[in-house]
Structure 1
């Protein structure tokens, strides 16, 4: 068995697994097995039938099958994917599973400018607390079927820092997203029991620094210590800072706080 954990990468709102393909390929070159499931909210198919609860169930089913197979899992959570993954893997840490006589488990949560929120708190709650809700609405194209698209996703996700070819390629893989999912309350809080690393992004227009300050403030208030790394990067740092984010995954995989398991 590889000494590296299996990666489950949970993508963000409006994104699809295709947006992360070069990052997935780079992780595989370093020896990781990688899964990146498409979330039900991100099919782009009207009417919007996906919800946060369905996204959580999708990821939980995948991760449960992996850990039941005895695998150690590293979660990489981007943007809205943080709200999904933090709920989906609650109760799946190695110590919790060992206590139940089970092998395998989630060893680490790597948040990439993601919503790392307490149980019952939504991504939308962070947006409201930052007083950015009206700004978000002004920048959304909301269709009658309830699906939304960002009016300028290139700027939101790349902050004008990537070359045009990279931006255009990424935009082709985006889909419309049910905005209500941002306001659905989370159902779990795995970062209270599983070691976590948070990657802050200073040039992020999608999850701006003020959101991230609020998020990390709530984590601190909960009495949980997480490792925080800061990059002068945009929201698509898995593309624009790809080498650094592969190294961040390696660091998370070998973090001394991780539980090794008894196998």
Structure 2
């Protein structure tokens, strides 16, 4: 009998994983177990100097699952894809099987996320310069979005986008400079969800990462006609895409 699977959700910068709650509720109705990660870099008392704190907290959630013999589908949004990839090292299903250990990460689901290679960072992927909508503090420790509605929620109602903006928290800017040392998508079966109306990570950038950075690797793709926040604007479509991954695994 195959091990049970838990779906672990990792948000992007500025966001709480509570943004996935409607998706999680949908998946729960069909019997899927879920877990969600609160990133150390979002709204911290002291800003992080790199993504290590995020890697650690994501890895702790994965370890708790695999130590219980569970398989893991890791769903990562935006910035969350970078520390998520790093956190998987040594915890993928095949490696754990070779070590006679149960459970492991069986799939990585990128939701309009950053898919980068070793030696690269989010900052280098975006051309090595701040984006126009980055509002960075003078000490270069904190970053906030200056135009969150237009950048993240451009396909949502005014009321819904206002509620979403109210939930955002400051992000540790230096995490954007942390370089990836492990590209999990080279080892773990992966799916990339293209978001066609994304103004934060434009579809051209999403496709470049999948078609160029990950060229030669079998990255499955799906697409939704949605902004950078499909968990708000098309939660049922996102849940369906994740459900297909779990069924196939």
The answer to whether the aligner puts 1:163 opposite 2:157 as a matched pair is yes
Equivalenced residue count is 247
C-alpha separation in 2, matches of 1:168 and 1:24: 22
Q: Return the TM-score normalized by structure 2.
A: 0.93
C-alpha deviation, 1:95, in angstroms: 1.7
State the SS of the aligned residue for 1:90.
Answer: coil
- What pairs up with 1:13-162 in 2 under 5 angstroms? 13-45=13-45, 47-49=46-48, 51-128=50-127, 133-134=129-130, 136=131, 138-145=132-139, 146-159=141-154, 161-162=155-156
Note the aligned Cα RMSD (angstroms).
1.8
C-alpha deviation, 1:3, in angstroms: 7.2
Segments of structure 2 that go 5 or more residues without pairing to the other structure are: none
Q: Deviations over 1:193-238 (max 9, x none)?
A: 1111101111101111122122111101xx2111111222110011
C-alpha separation in 1, matches of 2:2 and 2:94: 20
The answer to whether the aligner puts 1:186 opposite 2:180 as a matched pair is yes
Q: Deviations over 1:177-196 (max 9, x none)?
A: 12221121113111111111
Show structure 1 runs of 4+ deviating over 4 A. Answer: 1-4
Segments of structure 1 that go 5 or more residues without pairing to the other structure are: 259-263
C-alpha separation in 2, matches of 1:213 and 1:62: 29
Q: Does structure 2 conserve the Cα–Cα contact (< 8 Å) formed by 1:91 and 1:190?
A: no
C-alpha deviation, 1:175, in angstroms: 0.5
Q: Deviations over 1:38-93 (max 9, x none)?
A: 11101243x41363111111111210121011001111011011111111112222
C-alpha separation in 2, matches of 1:4 and 1:103: 11
C-alpha separation in 2, matches of 1:232 and 1:19: 18
The answer to whether the aligner puts 1:235 opposite 2:228 as a matched pair is yes
C-alpha separation in 1, matches of 2:100 and 2:160: 47
Q: Deviations over 1:153-183 (max 9, x none)?
A: 1111112x11112111111211011222112
C-alpha separation in 1, matches of 2:4 and 2:233: 24
Q: Cα–Cα, structure 1 residues 2 and 192, in superposed 2: closer, same or farther, change >3 Å?
A: closer
C-alpha deviation, 1:24, in angstroms: 2.1
